Amino acid sequence: MSDADLLFRPDLLAKYGANGPRYTSYPTALQFRDDFDPADYRRAAADPGASETDLSLYFHIPFCDTVCFYCGCNKVITKNRGRAKPYLQQMIREVALQARLFDTKRPVSQLHWGGGTPTFLSLDEMSALMAATREHFTLLPDDEGEYSIEIDPREATAQTVAHLRSLGFNRLSLGVQDFDPVVQKAVNRIQPLELTVDVMNAARANGFESISVDLIYGLPHQNVSTFRRTLETMLLLAPDRISVFGYAHMPHLFKMQRQMDETTLPPPAQRMALLQLVIEQLTDAGYVYIGMDHFALPTDELARAQVQRTLHRNFQGYSTRADCDLIGFGASAIGKVGDVYAQNAKDLTGYGAAIDAGELAIRKGVRLTADDRLRRDIITELMCNLELRYDEFEAAYGVRFPAAFAPELERLREFERDGLVARSADRLEVLPAGRMLVRNIAMVFDRYLGAQQRESFSRTI
Ligand code: SF4
């Protein structure tokens, strides 16, 4: 049996596929409270016990030149490049504000610019933001840190890529979605192949360590034969990582999605065929299925980390870095510091007003309980390392796992009968057929997830 046959079980995907969180955090952002006290965040930042932990910095740059109809990100669509200027000044001020709260000798082992479109900024603006970051925090020498940026190939040239490398970025993540011109037109993202190729070539020429590419299945007009061509083209380009997300059609939440003709969306059976195609093509080409939507070449650090059980998960997805304290900069950015999650104001006006007044822009957040911490670790272990070793939880939390989680383990009986998990006296293991449904397995351990909440999340398959 091939890897794809082991992973892809359409009967089980249809049975268990349901709406659910991606668990970039636990509890999820739905649990963040409006009455969160930013003093909790400040206390967590000042905790001397945290000085052994590295820092991770996330910068949210929300501007995009044109809208992609499928998009569910927090973004501002504008052709006016001048709009970035005041926002950039506010982010630079926020860097200084946040730096006062932390021991800034702590090494920054991860840094990420996401959006929106980070390269909406001019080269000089990018330099200014990175200079402010270096002034206030301890960035690592080149290639010791995991410093990544999301690139829209329509908004970047070879010169942009070289500039980013000179600023210290060493990983790129490219949005592609689909090479097919009919699909590109339907989603309002016209991106000729040459643009993607040019950026990838420039990244290689400039010594970027890892190139990651995003595709989406389930978009209008996609079918197996067109998407096969997209995948074949992508395989020729041989990125280190490929993420293939299932398009989440939620027009009640994202108005722009109403611009697409719903009748052109692939029906469920065709979506399943597209997913099967993805798994077959990528695993046959030698990519390792990491989990959720992510595939990586066996030489890539994510694939190696999974073998060594050192894979982690954060707001940007999978990572090889140990759990860091995460500081989020910019509108809607989320920080995770010790036992606290805190999210900045989502709108530019609210964010800017707070920063201009010399205050943090935190609007929501949550402080974890002991039970939250334990469940967060359980969910992370399942999502990253695909097993729970009970003795590790007993050592870390003093709980006798099978007794403490008897109801959850009971709920997993059916998953076990269907061959998604294997339970033994000392561990719970996710089997190959369960890997695509790992979110559904993790959901069993989520104590907040009610039926109503599920509707806020996209489908797991
Ligand atoms: S997909 Fe990216 S480029 Fe397109 S609108 Fe969303 S954030 Fe902007």
Whether 298 contacts 306, CB under 8 Å: no
Q: Is residue 188 a contact partner of residue 68, using CB atoms and an 8 Å limit?
A: yes
The Å distance, Cα 65 to ligand 1 centre, comes to 9
Are 318 and 288 in contact by the 8 Å Cβ rule? The answer is no
How big, in percent rounded to 5, are the helix, strand and coil portions of the chain? 45, 20, 35
Q: What average pLDDT is seen over the chain? A: 93
| Closest to 342 measured CA to CA, from 42, 23, 24, 21 | 42
**Quick check: CB of 116 below 6 Å from ligand 1?**
yes
Structure confidence at residue 117 as a pLDDT band (50, 70, 90): very high
Best residue among 61, 63, 67 to mutate for probing ligand 1, ranked by most atoms within 8 Å of CB:
67
What confidence category does residue 19 fall into, taking pLDDT thresholds of 50, 70 and 90? confident
CA of 296 to the centre of ligand 1 (A): 23
**Cα 124 to Cα 227: distance, rounded to the nearest angstrom:** 38
**What's the whole-number mean pLDDT along residues 152-175?**
97
Which residue minimizes the CA distance to atom 7 of ligand 1?
116
Q: What kind of fold does domain 1-26+371-461 have according to CATH?
A: Arc Repressor Mutant, subunit A (1.10.10)
Q: What is the mean pLDDT of residues 199-211?
A: 97
End-to-end CA, the chain: 22
Q: Does ligand 1 lie within 6 Å of residue 118's CB atom?
A: no
> What would the CATH number be for the domain defined by 27-326?
3.80.30.20
**Does the beta carbon of 221 lie inside 6 Å of ligand 1?**
no
Instruction: Report how far Cα 280 is from the mean position of its chain's Cα atoms.
Output: 23
Find the 117 Cα to ligand 1 centroid distance in Å.
7
Q: Which atom of ligand 1 is nearest to the CA of 152?
A: 3
Output the pLDDT for position 308. 86
Query: What is the pTM for the complete model shown?
Result: 0.94
72 CA distance to ligand 1 middle (Å): 8
Residue 389, pLDDT score: 95
Separation between Cα atoms, residue 96 and residue 89, nearest integer Å: 11
Q: Is residue 175 within 6 Å of ligand 1 at its C-beta? A: yes
Please check the confidence at residue 60 and state whether its pLDDT lies above 70: yes
Phi, psi of 330 (to 5 degrees): 100, 170
Question: pLDDT exceeding 70 applies to what percent of the chain?
Answer: 97
Length of the chain: 461
Position 21: which residue type? P
CA of 73 to the centre of ligand 1 (A): 7
**What pLDDT is attached to residue 1?**
61
Domain with CATH 3.80.30.20 in the chain: 27-326
Task: Please work out whether the CB of residue 123 comes within 6 Å of at least one atom of ligand 1.
Answer: no
All CATH 1.10.10.920 domain ranges in the chain, comma separated: 1-26+371-461
> How confident is the model at residue 446, as a pLDDT?
95
Atom of ligand 1 nearest to the CA of 177: 1
Per residue in 411-422, pLDDT tens?
A: 999 999 999 999
